[in-house]
Amino acid sequence: MPLLVTNAAIYTARYRPADVSLETGEFVALPKEIEPTPWVRFRKAFTSDSGPDLGDRTVFVVQAVSLVEFLRALKPAMVQPAPASVHFFRPRSP
């Protein structure tokens, strides 16, 4: 499971996409709904030049002070993914 541990504060924010500048990637106006959180989960594409494309994977970012709490909160998923050897990919064109 990909996991990044940081000592930085983590926040979630609710905002409209139109509130983010396409030129700078910054908020035009700061969101009003900002909340601190000990960890976040998101989906990230992991690609490789030398192997199969793993597609999107779940990545967790956890505050270091909340790592033990995070690890205790983990539970196995009801449905487990297939082993890595079962992944299908298209071979590179010559």
The SS3 of residue 84 is helix
Q: What is the pLDDT of residue 51?
A: 67
What pLDDT, on the 0 to 100 scale, is given for residue 54?
A: 67
Residues 29/13, Cβ–Cβ less than 8 Å: no
Per-residue model confidence (pLDDT) at position 77: 73
Nearest Cα residue to 42 out of 69, 79, 10? 10
Kindly state the helix (H) or strand (E) to which residue 68 belongs, with its residue range: helix 67-73
**What residues does each domain of the chain span?**
3-73
**Sheet strands (E) in the chain:** 3-6, 11-14, 33-36, 39-46, 55-63
Structure confidence at residue 6 (pLDDT): 97
Q: What is the mean pLDDT, run by run of 10 residues, along the chain of 94 residues?
A: 93 93 93 94 76 77 96 81 56 51
- For the chain, give the number of residues: 94
